[in-house]
C-alpha cells in the first residue's frame, strides 16, 4: 500500500471514482481556489460497475483530478460492491489519514441506497478514529482530523452547512463529465441515472436549490454531527430577514 506522506488540509473519502466529484466537487475546487491543499481517497476501483472498468475509470479519474486541482488522489482498491466496515479496511484508511494529516475530512452521508456508499461513511469515520490511537498496528504517527463533514447533497434531510460554489459549479460539471463511461448516453446500456434525472440536469437543479437556501446561485450541502460553537454572535454569517 502506498504510504507517501503529503500534508493535506482536506481529504475527501468516497467509495467510487466520481462519487466525490458529484457530491462535493464544487467544495473541493473552492478549497483549492482558497489556497488549501486538498486530496481524495477512493476506496474501490469500480471494477464491478455496470459501466466501464477499473482501467477506464482510473483514466477518467486522472482527467477529473486535473480539473479539480487537488494535489493528491489515491485508491485503496478495496472490493467494489463488496465494501464493508471492517477493522482491516479501517486500518487501511487510518494509515492514509496518518500519512496525509488532514484537518478536515469529508465523508459520504451515512444513510445511502448503495451499500458501498454507506460503508464508506462508516469505514471512513472508523479510520479517522483509529488513526489517533498510538498503538494501532500501522505505520505513521498517531493523528486524528479536527473536523468531519458529511456530504448530504441529493439527500432530502435537514442540512446544517451549505457552501457557496457559484464560481466553481461549471468546473464541477466539467470534472463529472470526465466520467464518460458512466454518464454518456449510449443505446443498449443501462442508465446510471434514469432519463428523467440526467446527472447534469440533476446537479443543476439541486445546486440551484441549495444555493437558493443561502442567497447564492449554486450550493453544496453538508452536515456535522456536533453543535457549532459561536464565540461572537455579532459575526454570525447570513441574514434572517
Cell triple for residue 127? 479510520
Q: Please state the φ and ψ torsions of residue 167, each to the nearest 5 degrees.
A: -80, -10
pLDDT for position 140: 96
CB 117 within 8 A of CB 151: no
pLDDT for position 191: 59
Percent of the chain with pLDDT over 70: 92
pLDDT for position 2: 45
- 188 has pLDDT over 80: no
Sorting pLDDT into bands at 50, 70 and 90, what band is 178? Answer: very high
Cell triple for residue 28? 473541493
**Average pLDDT in the chain:** 92
The β-bridge relationship of strands 219-223 and 147-151 is antiparallel
Percent of the chain with pLDDT over 90: 79
Element (H, E) at 127: helix 115-130
Strands of 65-141, DSSP E: 72-78, 104-108
Q: Provide mean pLDDT across the span 58-75.
A: 96
pLDDT for position 3: 63
- 75 has pLDDT over 90: yes
pLDDT tens across 112-167, in order?
Answer: 999 999 999 999 999 999 999 999 999 999 999 999 999 999 999 999 999 999 99
pLDDT for position 202: 93
Number of Cβ atoms within 10 Å of the Cβ of 125: 20
Top-level class of domain 10-235: alpha beta
pLDDT tens across 41-52, in order?
Answer: 999 998 776 676
pLDDT for position 1: 40
Q: Compute, in degrees rounded to 10, the torsion defined by CA atoms 146, 6, 85, 29.
A: 70
Q: Provide mean pLDDT across the span 215-240.
A: 92
pLDDT for position 47: 79
pLDDT for position 214: 94
Could you tell me which residue, 121 or 237, shows the higher pLDDT? 121
pLDDT tens across 194-214, in order?
Answer: 554 689 999 999 999 999 999
- DSSP code for 154: T
pLDDT for position 83: 96
Could you tell me which residue, 83 or 195, shows the higher pLDDT? 83
Amino acid at each position: 500500500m502506498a504510504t507517501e506522506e503529503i500534508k493535506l488540509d482536506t481529504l475527501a473519502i468516497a467509495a467510487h471514482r466520481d462519487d466525490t466529484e458529484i457530491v462535493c466537487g464544487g467544495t473541493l475546487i473552492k478549497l483549492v481556489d482558497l489556497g488549501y491543499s486538498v486530496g481524495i481517497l477512493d476506496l474501490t476501483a469500480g471494477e464491478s460497475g455496470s459501466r466501464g472498468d477499473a482501467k477506464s475509470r482510473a483514466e477518467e479519474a486522472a482527467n477529473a483530478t486535473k480539473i479539480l486541482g487537488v494535489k493528491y488522489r489515491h485508491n485503496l482498491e478495496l472490493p467494489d460492491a463488496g465494501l464493508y466496515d471492517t477493522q482491516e479496511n479501517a486500518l487501511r484508511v487510518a494509515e492514509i489519514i496518518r500519512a496525509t494529516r488532514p484537518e478536515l475530512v469529508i465523508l459520504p452521508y451515512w444513510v445511502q441506497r448503495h451499500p458501498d456508499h454507506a460503508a464508506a461513511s462508516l469505514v471512513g469515520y472508523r479510520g479517522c478514529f483509529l488513526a489517533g490511537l498510538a498503538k494501532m498496528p500501522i505505520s505513521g504517527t498517531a493523528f486524528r482530523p479536527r473536523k468531519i463533514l458529511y456530504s448530504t447533497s441529493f439527500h432530502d434531510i435537514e442540512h446544517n452547512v451549505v457552501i457557496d460554489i457559484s464560481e466553481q459549479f461549471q468546473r464541477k460539471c466539467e470534472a463529472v463529465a470526465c466520467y464518460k463511461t458512466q454518464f454518456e448516453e449510449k443505446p443498449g446500456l443501462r442508465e446510471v441515472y434514469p432519463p428523467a434525472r440526467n446527472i447534469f440536469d440533476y446537479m443543476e437543479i439541486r445546486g440551484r436549490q441549495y444555493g437558493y437556501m443561502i442567497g447564492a446561485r449554486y450550493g453544496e450541502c453538508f452536515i456535522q454531527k456536533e453543535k457549532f460553537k459561536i464565540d461572537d454572535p455579532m459575526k454570525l454569517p447570513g441574514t434572517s430577514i
